[in-house]
A and B are shown apart, each in its own frame.
Chain A
Amino acid sequence: MTKNPFSLEGKTILITGASSGIGQGCALMAAQMGAKVIVCGRNEERLKETISQMQGEGHSTFAGELTDQSVIEKLVAEIPSLNGVVFSAGISMTAPFTFSTREKFNKVFDVNFFSPIEILRLLVKKKKLANEASVVFISSVGGNFGFSVGNGIYGASKAALNSMSRLCSLELAPKKIRVNSICPGMVVTPLVEGFSENITQEDIQKDMDFYPLKRYGKPEDIAGGVVYLLSDAASWVTGQAICIDGGITAY
């Protein structure tokens, strides 16, 4: 029987932000599709919990502060050769422009932009990405395809991420490494609870009703796209920013 092109059988995948939300959803689905996953985040306990819910054998954890250069270097040194990487670690920030201080930009860019870009740089430099590896950045509709007040810093970090994702798709193409980003609309995770503290329940309901598919996303809605990009079915897909957003950017 020929191999299912959507299967991740035989692939080793690193997923950051796998202790929560979208990254966790990606870890569960990648394992379900046969991958060996290295789940990465700060909270060791929640990483272990993630693994306990995952199918298959051979998964491992790496806990650490991923904005810390020495931690990044340790991660890259310790991990085996990878067939795929998913960068889902990220933080949110709500601040109107007049309160968008350099300090807040630094905090968000550190996690959402500099950390994944530096990890990828070292993975490539240290030859930890196997031939035909797939890189997926979890970006956002916000800052790329949709703009809302108070979302400037976060959006800018995700726009920067999409820019580098596309650039890397070109520079890494000679190594047959594919690089794409997925831009989710609102997905219900602990991160969104951060966003929604600043707005009222009423606003949230209104916002949800505005989605053509009339609901916010679930981590597995995003994981489906991530697994596709990691799989051989996406062999000819690179340099793309794919919206998975309940139709919000269709208007």
Chain B
Amino acid sequence: MKTLDEFVALFAEQLDETDPSTVTAGTKFRELDEWSSLLALTLISMIDEEFDVVLKGDDVKNSETIEDVYNIVVSKI
């Protein structure tokens, strides 16, 4: 099972414009300038690939921070 820190790093890897060093567990990802529906799909696909968990669009929508998403993933494993 990947740790929260590893999850944050995986998340940061999907971004194009945001400096990865500024991304933390508490980052409000939907407020990032580059946040888009494509990034939401990318996040869902990354989680599917890495954790074998399929999140719903609303799981992402209802999360505020990266840690929130991680917690949903953990709860579904």
Contact = CB atoms under 8 A, between A and B. Distances in A.
Contact of A203 (B42, B44, B57): B57
A199 B39 CA distance: 12
Interface string B22-45: 000000000000000110111011
B interface residue count range (under 10 / 10 to 19 / 20 to 34 / 35 or more) = 10 to 19
Nearest to B45: A99
Interface string A86-98: 0000000011101
A interface residue count range (under 10 / 10 to 19 / 20 to 34 / 35 or more) = 10 to 19
Nearest to B54: A197
B61 interface: yes
A171 B4 CA distance: 58
B20 to A, nearest CB: 17
Contacts of B54: 197
B57 A197 contact: yes
A98 B42 contact: yes
Contacts of A199: 37, 40, 57
Given A149-B37, A199-B37, A203-B37, A99 B58 contact: no
Given A99-B49, A149-B37, A200 B58 contact: yes
Nearest to B48: A99
B47 to A, nearest CB: 10
A52 interface: no
A190 to B, nearest CB: 16
Contacts of B60: 200
Contacts of A225: none
A2 interface: no
B42 A198 contact: no
Contact of B56 (A99, A150, A197, A202): A197
B23 to A, nearest CB: 18
A199 B36 CA distance: 12
A179 to B, nearest CB: 34
12 contacts: A96-B41, A98-B42, A149-B41, A197-B54, A197-B56, A197-B57, A198-B41, A198-B44, A198-B56, A200-B58, A200-B61, A202-B61
